């Protein structure tokens, strides 16, 4: 009867998941982060799905002018006030949520998958391929992500799709580096050596034994990193490289309303607060998951 190469016990990963859930219940800050992320996610999904059926969930049309008095302060009718064209700020922020939230998840999802596959394979293969990966990632690390994404975005042209592509190009190298480091840590452990003795292919060892055992660390890093993507994308939007007005976008709203910081401070305040809440939510959630890992 053949002996199956041993990987790290599955119950250990299940224990990590249970620890994460338990920590979210016990750790108030982690729970707060999960709640904030859930609110953003539900809002984004609800607005997007409703738009497919031609339904508007916002109190007012986000691009319609004169739905209220010009530059009206926050009130029951307009919780976040109105802008210089009489548009409802609350409606514009809600309408922008699907794009801003989804871009963070898409960029991180792409970077996580590509970075994990490239980094783990390079570390497992070694040699010239591994050295080439390190030099490529060094090039990306030489410049700040926002500057590099802005340069690529300008070359591709204005638009949400192009900005998303620019961010994906910039964002995968750190995940490749992290996956490489985690792979090197376990590449000579007993369960990997046992898999080699059974002459399993390099690809099968990676997919079945290596990647499942480094995924948890990468997921924690990814959770913490979503907020960073949101900030960088908002920066690109602030510079006018993403959406085309009058389409609403958090970064573009901050840019358009910054001239009214003194006369109508609620205009840049509320979209700025929403961006900060998104970052805080993912940061708290990521910290909670990291704590759960350390405990387990």
- From the list 25, 19, 8, 1, the residue with the least C-alpha distance to 220 is 19
Answer yes or no: is pLDDT of 229 > 90. yes
In this prediction, residue 3 carries a pLDDT of 43
In this prediction, residue 6 carries a pLDDT of 47
246 upstream amide cis, omega within 30 of 0: yes
Span 26-295 CATH architecture: Orthogonal Bundle (1.10)
**What does pTM read for this prediction?**
0.86
Answer yes or no: is pLDDT of 210 > 80. yes
Structure tokens belonging to residue 107: 């960029």
In this prediction, residue 291 carries a pLDDT of 76
Residues 195, 136 contacting (CB under 8 angstroms)? no
Higher pLDDT, 226 or 32: 226
Cα pseudo-dihedral 60, 254, 239, 249, rounded to 10? -30
Answer yes or no: is pLDDT of 205 > 80. no
Answer yes or no: is pLDDT of 259 > 70. yes
Confidence at 63, pLDDT banded by 50, 70, 90 = very high
Structure tokens belonging to residue 217: 């660390």
In this prediction, residue 18 carries a pLDDT of 65
Confidence at 222, pLDDT banded by 50, 70, 90 = very high
The domain ranges of the chain are: 26-295
Contacts 24+ apart (CB under 8 A), 265-273: 266/73, 266/74, 266/80, 266/81, 266/89, 267/71, 267/81, 267/83, 267/84, 267/89, 270/80, 270/81, 270/89, 270/90, 270/93, 271/89, 271/93, 271/96
Confidence at 14, pLDDT banded by 50, 70, 90 = low
| 3-class DSSP assignment, residue 88 | strand
**Average per-residue pLDDT for the chain:** 86
Residues 30, 291 contacting (CB under 8 angstroms)? yes
Q: 243: Cβ–Cβ under 8 A, 6 or more apart, which residues?
A: 99, 160, 237, 249, 252
Answer yes or no: is pLDDT of 98 > 80. yes
In this prediction, residue 137 carries a pLDDT of 87
pLDDT in tens, 123-181: 888 888 888 888 888 888 888 888 888 899 889 988 999 999 999 999 999 999 999 99
In this prediction, residue 111 carries a pLDDT of 96
CA end-to-end distance (rounded Å), the chain: 34
Pairwise CA distance, residues 145 & 61, whole Å: 34
pLDDT in tens, 184-199: 888 777 777 676 666 6
The Cβ-side half-sphere exposure at 200, using a 13 Å CA radius, reads 21
């Amino acid at each position: 009867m053949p002996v199956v190469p041993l990987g790290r016990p599955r119950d250990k990963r299940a224990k990590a998941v249970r620890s994460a859930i338990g920590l979210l219940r016990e750790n108030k800050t982690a729970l707060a982060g999960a709640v904030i992320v859930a609110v953003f996610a539900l809002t984004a999904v609800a607005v997007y799905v409703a738009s497919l059926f031609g339904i508007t969930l916002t109190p007012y049309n986000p691009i319609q002018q004169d739905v209220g008095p010009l530059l009206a302060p926050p009130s029951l009718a307009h919780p976040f006030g109105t802008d210089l064209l009489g548009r409802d700020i609350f409606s514009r922020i809600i309408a922008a949520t699907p794009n801003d939230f989804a871009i963070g998840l898409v960029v991180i999802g792409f970077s996580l998958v590509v970075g994990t596959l490239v980094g783990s394979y390079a570390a497992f293969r070694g040699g010239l391929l591994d050295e080439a990966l390190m030099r490529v990632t060094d090039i990306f690390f030489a410049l700040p992500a926002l500057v590099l994404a802005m340069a690529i975005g300008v070359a591709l042209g204005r638009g949400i799709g192009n900005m998303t592509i620019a961010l994906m190009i910039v964002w995968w190298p750190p995940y490749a580096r992290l996956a490489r480091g985690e792979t090197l840590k376990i590449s000579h452990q007993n369960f990997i050596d046992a898999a080699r003795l059974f002459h399993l292919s390099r690809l099968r060892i990676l997919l079945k034994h290596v990647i499942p055992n480094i995924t948890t660390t990468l997921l924690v890093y990814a959770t913490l990193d979503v907020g960073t993507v949101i900030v960088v994308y908002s920066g690109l939007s602030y510079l006018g490289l993403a959406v085309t007005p009058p389409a609403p976008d958090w970064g573009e709203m901050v840019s358009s309303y910054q001239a009214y910081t003194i006369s109508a401070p609620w205009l840049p305040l509320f979209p700025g607060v929403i961006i900060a809440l998104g970052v805080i939510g993912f940061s708290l959630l990521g910290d909670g998951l990291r704590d759960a890992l350390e405990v387990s």
